[in-house]
Chains A and B, each alone.
Chain A
C-alpha cells in the first residue's frame, strides 16, 4: 500500500513559557471581537457557553489580566462583551504569527530549498560541468540536454550539502516568474 503523507503546522502564543492561545481560543477571541457576545461566539464555535468562559479564564489566569470586558446595556440594549486592549493584542499577535507561518509554508522557494516539494514549472535535467567554490557563494555550471549550459549561483553550504561534483546528474530548477523573455 502506498501511503500519502501531508505536512502541516500549528501555532500558539506563549506567556512565560506557557501556551496561552492556540487555534481554538484564538477563534473564540475572534468571534467575540466580531459579535460582541460570548454566547454568540460559543454558538458559532459549537462549544458550550461554560467552556467558552473556561477558555477565557485560563488565558486570564495565565497572563494575570482580563482579555474581555462586559458592558451593561441600557434599556435599549447596547450591552455586550468586547476584547480588552490586552485581549486584542494577544489575538493580533496570534493572527500575525499564523499569517507569517502560512506564508512560509506556501513559499515555493523555501520548499525548493528543502527539496521536499517543488512547484516550479521549469526543471531542466543536466550534468554538472564545473563547481567554483567561493567564500560564501559557489558557481555551478550545468550542461543541459539542450546544447547550452545553465549557471547557478548557490551558497557554498548548499553546494557542500548536495556534495556537488563534476559529472553529477542534477536538475536546474527555475521559477517561471524568474525567467525574462528577450526578443530581437
Chain B
C-alpha cells in the first residue's frame, strides 16, 4: 500500500501481548533490534497478526525524536 510515511522498516513479529483494548506487538527488524508497536486489539485481529508474520513498522517522520549524548 503506498503511504506517505518516510519510515517503513521490514521485520518479523516476535511477540504479541493482547490487552483488553491495546496490544503490544514486538517486531524484530534485525537482530537484536526490536521495534515495539502499541496498536488496538481490533487492529491485531483485523490483520490476523501472529508470531513469525512478515510486517512493516511504519512511522511518520514527525513522530521520531532525536537524542544525542
B55 within 8 Å of A by Cβ? yes
Other-chain contact of B65, A174, A181, A182 (Cβ < 8 Å): A174
Residue of A nearest to B32 (CB): A145
Interchain CB contact (< 8 A) of B37 among A112, A123, A140, A176: A176
**B67, A181: Cβ atoms under 8 Å?**
no
Q: For A176, list chain B residues within 8 Å (CB).
A: 24, 36-38
Interface code B9-51, partner A: CB below 8 Å = 1, 0 otherwise? 1100000000000001101011001011111000100011100
A142 x B63 contact (CB < 8 A): no
Least CB distance from B23 to A in Å reads: 10
Per the CB 8 Å criterion, the residue count for chain B at the interface is: 40
The reply to whether A173 and B7 form a contact with Cβ atoms under 8 Å apart is: no
- Listed in ascending order, the chain A residues whose CB lies under 8 Å from chain B are 109, 112-113, 115, 118, 120-124, 139-140, 142, 144-148, 150-154, 158-159, 162-164, 168-184
A-B contact pairs, 23 of them (CB 8 A): A112-B65, A120-B65, A142-B66, A145-B33, A146-B30, A147-B30, A152-B65, A154-B65, A154-B66, A164-B66, A164-B68, A172-B67, A173-B67, A176-B24, A176-B38, A178-B63, A179-B38, A181-B39, A181-B55, A182-B1, A182-B56, A182-B58, A183-B48
B contact set with A: CB distance below 8 Å: 1, 3, 5-10, 24-25, 27, 29-30, 33, 35-39, 43, 47-49, 53-69
